[in-house]
Amino acid sequence: MQVVTTPELADRYLMQTGRRLPVTFVRGRGCVLYDDAGREYLDLVAGIAVNLLGHAHPDVVAAITRQSAELIHTSNLYFTQPQVELARRLVELSFPSRVFFCNSGAEANESAIKLARKWGTRNRDGAFEIITTTGSFHGRTLATVTAGGQHKYSDPFKPLPDGFVHVPYNDTKAIEEATTDKTVAVMLEPVMGEIGVIPAAPGYLRRIREWCDAKNLLLILDEVQTGLGRTGRWFAHQHAGITPDVMTLAKGLGGGMPIGACLANQRADVFEPGDHGSTFGGNPLACAVAATVLHVIERDGLVGHAAEMGDLLGASLRDLGAKSTRGAGLMQAFEFEDPRAKAFQQSCLEAGLVVNAVDDHSVRLVPPLIVTAKEIDRAHEVMRKVAG
Ligand SMILES: Cc1ncc(COP(=O)(O)O)c(C=O)c1O
């Protein structure tokens, strides 16, 4: 069936929740996307840090084909092999914990928030407040959009749920001062992604871990964007040599299949039967594909490769005339002095390069982990020409 999509049709039938760029992608291979006119684009956005193995990776395609022919969905009324196997691998790669599976980053964080509140009821005399940071992004459900420290996303939906306190990022003292008897947890991104790639300052995560230990608080790390090799370690907190009590994942986990996960150590794992659930969460198809993604990342040494390519990509951004560049591994951004990020994004697209303007000034690059040095060179050439 040949379907023609036009911006007018999309406007007619889709809710207007975001502005789309004027392109319709129909196919992808590796780090390359093709539009409906057969034009080729080098993709440095990867579905917003999702397609870790690029597009149409043969192992992902094979896993989808194999598992969909066996069993796609049963609900969580029963055991399934892919779900238990994926949980086992995630725990082996991260820290001693148990896993709750869901379908997105927002849901993973919603699970973490519920866990923290129940933990507070049990262990901190009903404490329920979670300290998060200004500029953070944790999802779009009512609780997670409130947790995220960006008023533009939450204000239209007031009244918002109680229990979230926002402090500046990379400011340990602000967390200490915001802690009260009502505080139950600190929830952070190890690198703030959506706001434009702001890495944690050296020592920040370690000091917050120590503060949480000293004050009997949970440390929740949102690794939805930073997890699974993106920053050059399996999980970004591993750079800091700490472990969280709760960690959330989504985005890259399914290599493009929707899946989220919330991992909790023994201390934080307070869910009991009936407390939480998700019909689709952890279905055999998503879990089998995610297990394949982990297997390929490991087999092909993609965590080390991401660190290496991240250094190359980061270095290649320094002659674009930007005010600043920043990043960790294959999560990089640069900021223009003047408000030309959106025009830059559009010109790159016209030149066959997909980049992501997060606002008027900053451009984010989160390519697939399989990106090559040659592709980074090609991207750099386009960006330099466009930057002028
Ligand atoms: C750090 C972080 N947490 C949570 C989310 C929300 O994930 P989802 O869009 O899958 O709900 C995002 C999405 O950008 C994110 O970057």
Does a structural domain hold residue 2?
Answer: no
Are residues 42 and 185 located together in one domain of the fold? no
Q: Which of 203, 202, 165, 170 is nearest to 185 (CA)?
A: 165
344 pocket-lining for ligand 1 (C-beta < 6 Å): no
| 116 CA from centroid of ligand 1 (Å) | 19
- Nearest-atom number in ligand 1 for the CA of 189 is 1
106 pocket-lining for ligand 1 (C-beta < 6 Å): yes
Which distant-in-sequence residues (6+ apart) come within 8 Å of 51 by Cβ?
28, 43, 252, 255, 256, 368
Q: Which of 236, 217, 220 is nearest to 228 (CA)?
A: 236
Are residues 232 and 365 located together in one domain of the fold? no
Does a structural domain hold residue 64?
Answer: no
Q: What are phi and psi of 113, to 5 degrees?
A: -65, -45
**Contact status, residue 32 vs residue 55, Cβ threshold 8 Å:** yes
Does a structural domain hold residue 36?
Answer: yes
In the structure encoding, which two tokens stand for residue 165, read together?
Answer: 């306190």
- CATH number, domain at 305? 3.90.1150.10
pLDDT of residue 8: 87
220 pocket-lining for ligand 1 (C-beta < 6 Å): no
| 186 CA from centroid of ligand 1 (Å) | 17
Are residues 87 and 132 located together in one domain of the fold? yes
245 pocket-lining for ligand 1 (C-beta < 6 Å): no
283 pocket-lining for ligand 1 (C-beta < 6 Å): no
Q: Look up the pTM and report it.
A: 0.98
Asked if 114 is an active-site residue, the reply is: no
Are residues 144 and 287 located together in one domain of the fold? yes
DSSP secondary structure letter of residue 203: T
Are residues 172 and 253 located together in one domain of the fold? yes
pLDDT of residue 296: 98
Let me know if 253 is exposed, middle or buried by CB neighbors in 10 A (0-12, 13-18, 19+): buried
In the structure encoding, which two tokens stand for residue 87, read together?
Answer: 């949980």
Strand partners, 48: none
Does a structural domain hold residue 61?
Answer: no
Are residues 172 and 287 located together in one domain of the fold? yes
Does a structural domain hold residue 128?
Answer: yes
Asked if 137 is an active-site residue, the reply is: yes
- Nearest-atom number in ligand 1 for the CA of 109 is 4
Are residues 216 and 254 located together in one domain of the fold? yes
- Nearest-atom number in ligand 1 for the CA of 107 is 11
Q: Computed from CA positions of residues 351, 352, 357, 363, in that sequence, does the dihedral angle turn out positive or negative?
A: negative
Instruction: Look at residues 281, 299, 317 and tell me which one is the last residue of a structural domain.
Output: 299
Strand partners, 262: 100, 248
Which distant-in-sequence residues (6+ apart) come within 8 Å of 370 by Cβ?
30, 31, 52, 53, 54, 57, 300, 302, 305
pLDDT of residue 1: 57
Q: Which of 124, 97, 96 is nearest to 112 (CA)?
A: 97
Instruction: Look at residues 272, 299, 326 and tell me which one is the last residue of a structural domain.
Output: 299
| 41 CA from centroid of ligand 1 (Å) | 25
| 46 CA from centroid of ligand 1 (Å) | 14
137 pocket-lining for ligand 1 (C-beta < 6 Å): yes
Instruction: Look at residues 250, 267, 299 and tell me which one is the last residue of a structural domain.
Output: 299
Q: Which of 101, 118, 222, 336 is catalytic?
A: 222
Does a structural domain hold residue 176?
Answer: yes
In the structure encoding, which two tokens stand for residue 377, read together?
Answer: 């060179």
Asked if 251 is an active-site residue, the reply is: yes
Does a structural domain hold residue 65?
Answer: no
Question: What is the Cα–Cα distance from 170 to 184, expressed in whole angstroms?
Answer: 19
- CATH number, domain at 182? 3.40.640.10
From start to end of the chain, where are the E strands? 25-29, 32-35, 40-43, 98-102, 129-133, 164-167, 183-188, 191-192, 198-199, 218-222, 246-249, 260-264, 324-328, 331-335, 353-354, 356-357, 362-365
- Count of structural domains within the chain: 2
Are residues 274 and 316 located together in one domain of the fold? no
Boundaries of domain holding 306: 7-56+301-387
Q: Computed from CA positions of residues 318, 321, 322, 323, in that sequence, does the dihedral angle turn out positive or negative?
A: positive
pLDDT of residue 237: 98
- For Cα atoms 146, 363, 365, give the angle at the middle one, nearest 5 degrees: 95
Are residues 271 and 182 located together in one domain of the fold? yes
Are residues 133 and 274 located together in one domain of the fold? yes
pLDDT of residue 388: 87
Are residues 248 and 133 located together in one domain of the fold? yes
pLDDT of residue 6: 81
Are residues 95 and 158 located together in one domain of the fold? yes
Question: What is the Cα–Cα distance from 388 to 349, expressed in whole angstroms?
Answer: 15
| 1 CA from centroid of ligand 1 (Å) | 33
Question: What is the Cα–Cα distance from 354 to 285, expressed in whole angstroms?
Answer: 29
Tokens 């920040």 sit on residue = 204
Q: Which of 101, 128, 251, 344 is catalytic?
A: 251
Helix ranges (DSSP H) in 23-80: 46-49, 58-70
Per-block average pLDDT, block size 10, for the chain (388 residues)? 76 92 96 97 98 98 98 97 98 98 98 98 98 98 97 97 98 98 98 97 98 98 98 98 98 98 98 98 98 98 98 96 96 97 98 98 98 98 96
Does a structural domain hold residue 246?
Answer: yes
